[in-house]
Amino acid sequence: MQQVNERKITRRMNIRILRNDISKYIFLLSTLFGLAVLSILIYRIFSEGVGSFNLDFLTGKLSTQPERAGIMGAILGTAWLMFVVAPVTMFLGVGTAIYLELYAKKGFLQSFIQTNIANLAGVPSIVYGILGLTVFARAMDFGNIVLAGGLTMSLLILPIVIVASQEAIRAIPSTLSEASYGMGATKWQTIQNIILPVALPGILTGAILALSRAIGETAPLVVIGIPALLIPFPDGIFDKFTVLPMQIYYWTLDSALLAEYANLAAATIIVLLIALFILNSTAIMIRNKFQHKF
């Protein structure tokens, strides 16, 4: 039997430990790389945009002159879009989740719907745009109004809301619903009075995160055809509209011709990032404060 050569091992050991230490720092650097880019990105956007970011910009109308342009129309458009997207996705998403988790029998239909939702989550957003263009904007003849954009966006984020709601419902221990059945409550009464209230924080967290995806999404709206023209402020879901990401898109393209537009785009990004920050903090707050722990 071969004896262990202690000296040889000690010598090899030093190299191995050294390799381990070096690679540890390479791995750490890779982790930091993403964060470094993130800081540069945020620094760049604020340094470019902060000069244009003021009250006139926030409350002003679009203008052909960069120094007079404002984004109130885009802010209102985004708000109206969310006014459509939020209720539609909540209703459809939670409804589907309740069906799949509480009513559907394990079997072909249930697993078919489940697989289908997983596949939908991976469909590129621009394909949803084409669906919206063909079905809502053209076949239903809505044109490029808030309702068409909102329904398209709703379909886009629906898988996220469904999956989040399913997880929230699944996390409820069965003792709760069994206690409710034991008291003589029917299934729907149990869902209404026990399951939904308990699952609500989880559902809301998921829904808010999905909304923040919809707020930043551009591609489907480009496809539906949101104009770069000056349009009046939208007053309802049947008006033509523009949203913050669309404004960023057009101003970024214009910045190749006139550098000031880059500042406007950056200032609009600041507004968008602030909106996302508020939404995400709300979601985290709801999760931490109201999430039931079992």
Partner 1 sequence: MLNINSNVPQKNDVRIRELIEEKRQSRNFKGIVEKLIPSFLLVIATLSILTTAGIVYTLLSETVQFFKRVPFLDFFTGTALKPLSQTPEFGILPLLMGTITSSLIAMVVAGPIGLMAAIYLSQYASERVRKVFKPLLEILAGIPTIVYGFFAFTFVTPLLRTLIPGLEATNILSPGIVMGVMIIPMIASLSEDAMSSVPSSIREGALALGSTKLEVTKKVIIPAALSGIIASFVLGISRAIGETMIVTIASGSTKNFTFDITQSMQTMTAYIVEVTGGDAPAGSTVYYSLYAVAMTLFIFTLLMNIGARKISRKFREEY
Site for partner 1 in 147-176 (CB under 8 A): 155, 158-159, 162
Our CB check for partner 1 shows the closer of 70 and 132 to be 132
Is the CB of 52 or the CB of 125 nearer to partner 1? Answer: 125
Q: How far is CA 87 from the centre of its chain?
A: 15
Q: How far is the CB of 279 from partner 1 (least distance, A)?
A: 10
Q: How far is residue 102's CA from residue 104's CA, in Å, rounded to a whole number? A: 6
Q: Contact with partner 1 (CB under 8 A): which of 5, 11, 37, 236?
A: 37
Inter-residue contact 211 to 82 (CB < 8 Å)? yes
CA 147 – CA 144 distance, rounded (Å): 8
- Residue 60 interacts with partner 1 (CB under 8 A): yes or no: no
96 binds partner 1, rule: CB under 8 A: yes
Nearest approach in angstroms of CB 92 to partner 1 is 6
Smallest separation (angstroms) from partner 1 to the CB of 110: 9
Q: Is residue 272 involved in binding partner 1 (CB under 8 A)?
A: yes
To partner 1, the closest distance from the beta carbon of 194 in angstroms equals: 15
Q: Convert residues 183-202 into a mask of x (bound to partner 1 by CB under 8 A) and - (unbound).
A: ---xxx--------------
Give 60's DSSP letter. P
Does residue 98 interact with partner 1 by CB under 8 A?
yes
Nearer to partner 1, 134 or 236 (CB): 134
* Contact between residue 190 and residue 221 where contact means Cβ atoms under 8 Å apart: no
Is 229 a binding residue for partner 1 by CB under 8 A? The answer is: no
Work out the angle at residue 82's Cα, subtended by the Cα atoms of residues 222 and 242, and round it to the nearest 5 degrees. Answer: 35
Using alpha carbons, select from 267, 222, 279 the residue that is nearest to residue 82.
279
Report yes or no: 272 and 181 within 8 Å, Cβ to Cβ: no
Q: What is the Cα–Cα distance from 6 to 64, expressed in whole angstroms? A: 79
For partner 1, which residue of 33, 63, 111, 193 counts as binding (CB under 8 A)? 33
Contact present, 262 and 98 (Cβ < 8 Å): no
